[in-house]
Amino acid sequence: MSAAAYRQTVFLLSPAHCGGKRAQILLSERASFPLAVQLREKGAPIGEVFRFLSGLYFRGKLAYGQAFARARTAPHGVLVITPGRGLISPDTIVGLQDLLAIATVGVAPDEPRFRKPLERDSAALASLLAGEDRVVLLGSIATGKYVDIIESHFDGRLRFPGDFVGRGDMSRGGLMLRCVLDRKELEYIPMAGAARHGKKPPRLKPLRIAKPEGSLLRLLESGTKSRSKARR
């Protein structure tokens, strides 16, 4: 079925890790870059915060979701799975203490502080869907940390990109940014009964076209360089 046949497509984005080195940099009282200052003084959109914490992967998910979401009765076409908060808009403002609280909640089906808000908001979203509407998970599919909680609420509407199978986080992020640049939406597979493990696909080919400052191509390039440095 073509994308146009679906009345609504809502994307659920998995969260960034709030306890790594990037989080330490962002949460440092000595940090003086704009996002850190904004977070301390008046709060920042959680989408921007998670983009910083996760790097290429969340940048890809957010850009892709914003490019291809179609929402009518659903209030938002892109929602972020947020530990302790359930499903929230990437525009939701969070402060320093909010981020510290999010970091204390484990991302696991047996963690009530994670599971209950996610179940609540999944049920609320499901009540706004009908007919050929679909929900697409942009996040981990190999484990049940998200799927085991949300799948039962969507009555067969939960899907994921088939091209995610076998790919790591960086490859998925690069793939989604390329899709945004090409204005080409991925194909989605129903979650129920799908094979979520597979062979690693070929490495994405580098893009060799002009890369204006601040563009998606710059994000792709910076992400590739970061990954190369990490392997040295």
Q: Flag whether pLDDT at 14 surpasses 70.
A: yes
Three-state DSSP at 217 gives: helix
pLDDT at 4 over 70: no
Residue 100: pLDDT band (50, 70, 90) is very high
pLDDT in tens, 160-176: 999 898 888 889 999 99
Confidence (pLDDT) at 229 = 39
Distance CA 104, CA 106 (A): 6
**Mean per-residue pLDDT for 77-91?**
97
What's the whole-number mean pLDDT along residues 104-118?
Answer: 96
For residue 143, what pLDDT is reported? 78
Rounded distance between C-alpha atoms, residue 184 and residue 107, angstroms: 31
Domain total in the chain: 1
Please report which confidence band the pLDDT of residue 226 belongs to, taking 50, 70 and 90 as the band edges.
Answer: very low
Q: Look at residue 195 and tell me whether its pLDDT is greater than 70.
A: no
**216: containing domain:** 3-231
Q: What is this structure's pTM?
A: 0.84
- Predicted local distance difference test score (pLDDT) of residue 1: 52
Q: What is the mean pLDDT of the chain?
A: 86
- Rounded to 5 degrees, φ, ψ at 123 are -65, -40
Q: What is the mean pLDDT of residues 47-65?
A: 94
CA–CA separation, 184 and 181 (whole Å): 8
What's the start-to-end Cα distance of the chain, in Å? 44
Exposure letters 1-40 (e unless 16+ CB within 10 A, then b): eeeeebebbbbbbbbbebeeeebeebbeeeeeeeebebbb
User: What per-residue confidence (pLDDT) applies to 156?
Assistant: 87
